[in-house]
Chains A and B, each alone.
Chain A
Amino acid sequence: MSKGPTLKMKNRLNRIVIAFVLIGFVTLIVRVGYISIGQNDFFKAEATKQQLDDLTVNPKRGTIYDRNMKVLAQSATVWTVFISPIDIEEKDRETIADGLSKILEVDKQTILDKCKKKNRYEVIKKKVEQNVADEVNKFIAEKKITAVHMVEDSKRYYPYENFASSVIGFTGTDNQGLYGIEAYYDKYLKGTAGRIVSAVNAKGTDMPFQYEKFYEPKDGNGLVLTIDESIQHYVEKALEQAVIQHKASNRGCAIAMNVNTGEILAMATKPDFNLNEPFEIADAATREAIEKLTGDERTKALSAAREKQWKNKAVTELYEPGSVFKVVTGSAALEEKTSSLTSKFSCSGVANVSGTKIKCWKAGGHGSLDFTGAFVHSCNPAFISIGQSLGVDKFYNYVKNYGMTERTGIDLPGEADSITIAKKNYGPVELASASFGQSNKITPIQMITAFCAVVNGGKLVTPHVVKQMLDANGNVVETYGTKVKRQVISEETSAQMRKILEQDVTANGGSNAYVKGFSIGGKSGTSEKLELNRKPNATQEEKDARVSSFIGFSPVDDPEIAVMVMIDEPRAGQVYGSQVAAPVVASIMSDVLPYIGIEPNYTKEELEKMEVSVPNVTGSKLDTAQSKLLAQGLKPKIKGDGNTVLKQVPSSGSSMPRGGTVILYTSESVAEESSTVPNLVGLTPAQANQKLTNAGLNVKFTGPSENVHAVVSAQSVKEGTKLAKGSIVTLTCTANDQTG
């Protein structure tokens, strides 16, 4: 016993130590159980989070086409270049930063800083083009770098840049639609992202055990617009010129619409911006002004300027339609038979409405007018009477039925809510001013939609810009047809209105909206901006602020297309819609009508004055030459005594009106005669014609030269220029028309 362990030792070992051992190990078993069973869900999720690599596969955004399948917006593959800093060894940092900064044009220090981080995902550059991505790949392969990666992304391209910018809109950095159709139809265009879920080891490379799931991305739907690229082009060209010419200080917009279906054929706002660089301020003056600012001011000014250039004026901004609105009042009166074509109105230049004096635009008044005359002269007192005989109830019903109190529902974002007078707030003065288009504020799209209802047989349709939706393979999955909201007026009233509106364009020998050979109806409007004009302490500029607009349609008997042009705050002198906006509509019509297949139909007088192409008679025998010219309706005038034509003025191929004179030189001895171009601007077409004929020159008119108020507003050759006799001088005429 003395040799072996003592009892005390045995006791201490077998009781106390074993107790500690048991307590220790049982504690550990409980602890392991708590973690592996109790918190199993939490740790499993944590494990999944780090062990599975979830890669998003971006779908391709749908393409946007015009109605003839011309591509307006398209997505192309670009790349996001990123690094996995944790996998970069210190010695490689310099190489990577140097190489990438050169290829991607990113600051080298920025890349170096990112290389020093301890994560697995640092983006170096987004939206890298394919050719640059190829260079990055080459660089990676050459230097055997494993920590630089690229993932696919897509970028939006707009091949026509500024074209229809306010309608198409654009996308943001994450390919989300931000404006226009891109925003409105974003959920269809963007498609559904796919995913690749795979097991990876801690270095991000694949693990030997099998786990990979691929959820295929679904590409976005394509859209076919109702917009016609050619019509849009004509509209933009004419509008842009007008906005510049009339120095519009608050932009201008134009809409071309199919009157029967509600399809928008063109919609433009000018000045516009480049869809490929939407964040650049397109207007040079604004851009420079912003450049001078700093800090908060600059940020604010920049975002305000962007917002302004992006806004689709035709849909998102309100205006007072002015006299164009008279089509609503007039058609309502005809429909309700409170007025008729034979109604008589008298205008003394001022109307007294419950003690408030409202002036007609024409000082001294229009005297006695019939219903059509009220339109042609756009006489405010006449329309006040028309409105009064309708009464508030009926008038308001038509304002409502023509859609003035609700959104049109056009498929574009940000459609503004109109501000109209509530029915209960109509007093005699409100009714009077609303009758000729002041006081109610609406959007241009509301006005043209109502106008279409006036002329299309009375149906209020929903305007729309998307015609079809396509799936990724180009199959039509949805067609957006015509939606008729309601019948506002009868077919008969509509027919009457068409005739009246045709008169409006053709009266007095043709207004500024008149296009030879085509039947066009329309109404102009010049509205005051009451908020600006009447605000206390308004500056002269504010007092003078006007909106000039015109809506025309064609053909009159069976309308197909309506075109609206609105110039906001023209600052170049002319402000009347009939002067500013009507010629733009005429210009658009003259391009668009032949394009959509409407054949010109000239009157006898027009045919007589049709322009012809001067035939080539140089070198011909005099007899032959004379008969050739006469056959074209041109007058030959011979200089010299030879038998052969040696020279002709104008030269062959020139376009000139019938009845013009072609001078034929037949002998070398007779020198070419010349003449000095006189000033013709401000003269009537007849006076100008006389003056040019006296000078031995030929005249060619553009614009409404037949209008009784027509004046020459521009001449193609400057005053004082010497020209060969017989040369053609082109004179632009404008009807000095102030009918709204």
Chain B
Amino acid sequence: MDTTFFILVLILLAFGLIMLFSASYAYAYYRFNDSFSFIKKQAVFAFAGVACMIIISHIDYHIYKRFAFWFYAAGVVLLVVALLSPELNNAHRWIHLGPLGTFQPSEFMKFAVVVLFAYLISINYKRMGTFVYGVLPFLICLGIVAAIMLMQPHLSGTILIGAIGLVMMFVGGTKYRYFLVALLLVGVGIVAIVSFKGIEYVGERLQGWIDPFSDKQDSTFQTVQSLIAVGSGGVMGLGLGNSRQKYLYLPEPQNDFIFSIVCEELGFIGAVIVILLFVLFVFRGFVIATKAPDKFGMMLVVGLTAQVGLQAMLNIAVVTNTIPNTGISLPFFSYGGTSLFLLLCQMGVILNVSRQCSLEKT
């Protein structure tokens, strides 16, 4: 097993839990009169997740090959179930699990897409240069997922899954020109959205993004509060636990905007450490991928690593208002029990791949 990767995961997890406790402390206190209410649940899922991670690291990853289509099919079904589930926060993204809380099928779908794409690439790697094998199957899979998820609606999840898919296709060998076409299609998509929603709506959103202070009370409130948190941290931060923005200014600081609390409490230095941890994580993941015993294993690791890296990148970009606000959580840090559990399970898959390649030899 790749110890470096394992330790990196544990460090990220520990760091994440500490920050979650700090960030959720005030909100939990005001909301539930119990400062520990979030960290307790998250810690339970974390322990269960680590246990499963270790177990899964012993399960040969090749068996997923057999379930590749079934995972995908199950993912689609779950997405539809969520779509039919009662609304939560103006969207149908969740399946309600009673005492276990809620489950977001898109989290599972990410894994399912990674497995399916890894499988498709591993059997078609020689024909990846063609459109029929190198583009079409992937396009269909992503198309179905995107269609359902946009209905929920879940734009950020769609973008994320699409991005993971694109990275895997790229590594798998799809020709450059198709990515250029994809870029063109994105351009067309943007034009379509602009004409559909109207120039004014887009203008407003754009204005809110470029100058969030222009309309502090409404749509950009969260962004403004996030920027204040990041900006008031300075080099060294206010000290662990000393965030002021978490006192109900920053809405739900334990979720998507936990990174701004990191910046406020630990400053620029803390932020760089977190980013470097993710960079190291991605590098180490790619090292494992490169040395994987087969193409399926490689693509699995590439997909799973890319998922964490992309999510972290997008999340931090949102928190710093580098891109407009979309709901993407920060892996290992943001609150969400099932999500963390699933993430750790996927880390187990990576670890199993690492077990089967002999890193020492190279």
Interface residues, chain A, CB within 8 Å of chain B? 3-6, 8-10, 12-14, 16-18, 21-22, 24-25, 27-29, 31-33, 35-37, 39-40, 42-44, 46-47, 50-51, 118, 199, 201-203, 207-209
Number of contacting residues on B, CB 8 A?
Answer: 50
- B343 at interface, CB cutoff 8 A: no
Flag whether B244 is at the interface (Cβ < 8 A). Answer: yes
CB distance from A677 to the nearest CB of B (A): 84
B286 and A4 contact, CB distance less than 8 A: no
Using A3-B294, A35-B227 as known contacts, say yes or no to A9 and B249 having CB atoms under 8 A apart: no
Assuming the contacts A18-B283, A51-B249, asked whether A40 and B234 have C-beta atoms less than 8 A apart, the reply is: yes
A46 to chain B, nearest CB (A): 5
User: Which of B36-44, B139-147, B266-274 contacts the other chain?
Assistant: B266-274
Report how far A44 CA is from B242 CA in the complex, Å: 14
* 7 A-B pairs closest in CB distance: A43-B231, A201-B247, A202-B248, A47-B232, A5-B298, A202-B249, A32-B271
Complex formed: what's the CA distance from A202 to B309 in Å? 33
B316 near A21 with CB under 8 A, answer no
**0 or 1 for each of B288-307: is its CB under 8 Å from A? (1 = yes):** 01101111001000100010
Determine whether the beta carbon of B234 is less than 8 Å from that of A36.
Answer: yes
Sample (9) of A-B pairs whose CB atoms are under 8 Å apart = A5-B298, A9-B125, A13-B298, A14-B286, A28-B313, A29-B275, A40-B234, A47-B228, A207-B247
In angstroms, Cα B234 to Cα A372, docked, is: 90
Chain A residues positioned under 8 Å from B290 (CB to CB):
5, 10, 13-14
Q: Report the separation of the CA atoms of residues A50 and B245 in the bound assembly, to the nearest whole angstrom.
A: 10
Number of A-B contacts (CB under 8 A): 142
B231 contact set on A, CB distance < 8 A: 35-36, 39-40, 42-44, 46-47
The stretch from B48-56, B105-113, B164-172, B190-198 touching chain A is: B164-172
| A207 contact set on B, CB distance < 8 A | 244, 247
Report which of A12, A17, A43, A209 forms a contact with B230, defined as CB distance below 8 A: A43
Query: Is B263's CB within 8 Å of the partner chain A?
Result: yes
User: Does B202 touch A at the CB level, under 8 Å?
Assistant: no
A581 to B150, CA, bound (A): 94
Q: Are B247 and A13 in contact (CB under 8 A)?
A: no
Chain A: which residue is nearest B263 at the CB level?
A36
Are A201 and B217 in touch, CB under 8 angstroms?
A: no
How close is A85's CB to chain B, nearest CB, in angstroms? Answer: 12
Selected from B170, B278, B289, B309, the residue in CB contact (under 8 A) with A16 is B170
Contact A25 to B247, CB < 8 A, known contacts A4-B295, A6-B173, A13-B171: no
CB contacts under 8 Å to A, within B165-190, are 167, 170-173
Interface contact B320-A31, CB-CB below 8 Å: yes
Closest CB-CB distance, A571 to chain B, in whole Å? Answer: 63
Kindly state whether residue B359 has any CB partner on chain A within 8 Å: no
Contact residues in B for A17 (Cβ distance below 8 Å): 167, 170-171, 286, 302, 306
B157 at the interface (CB under 8 A from A): no
Q: Which residues of B contact A37 (CB under 8 A)?
A: 234-235, 268
A4 CA / B26 CA spacing, docked (Å): 51
B233 at the interface (CB under 8 A from A): yes
A33 to B272, CA, bound (A): 9
B70 within 8 A of A: no
Residue of A nearest to B268 (CB): A36
Chain A contacts of B173 at CB under 8 A?
Answer: 6, 8-9, 12
Q: How far apart sit A255 and B297, CA to CA, in the bound complex (Å)?
A: 107
Whether the pair A13, B293 counts as a contact (CB closer than 8 A) is: no
CB distance from A411 to the nearest CB of B (A): 48
Q: A21-B279, A35-B227, A201-B248 in contact; A9/B295 too (CB < 8 A)?
A: yes
Cβ of B279 and Cβ of A3 under 8 Å apart? no
User: Given A12-B173, A35-B227, A118-B217, A6 and B295 touching (CB < 8 A)?
Assistant: yes
With A and B bound together, what is the CA distance between A44 and B229 in angstroms? 9
Residues of B within 8 A of A202 (CB): 247-249
Residues of A within 8 A of B322 (CB): 27-28, 31
**Nearest opposing residue in chain B for A13, CB measure:** B171
Least distance between B298 CB and chain A CB atoms (Å): 4
A646 to nearest B CB, angstroms?
A: 95
Given A13-B171, A17-B286: A32 and B268 interface contact (C-beta under 8 Å): yes
State the CA gap A201–B233 with chains docked (Å).
17
- For the complex with contacts A33-B268, A46-B228, A50-B249, 18 further pairs of A-B residues with Cβ separation under 8 Å are A3-B295, A4-B292, A4-B294, A13-B302, A17-B167, A17-B170, A27-B322, A28-B275, A31-B322, A35-B230, A37-B268, A44-B232, A47-B244, A51-B244, A51-B247, A118-B217, A199-B244, A207-B244
Distance in angstroms from A629 CB to nearest chain B CB is: 94
Chain A residue at minimal CB-CB distance from B25: A208
Which residues of A sit under 8 angstroms from B313, Cβ to Cβ?
21, 24-25, 28
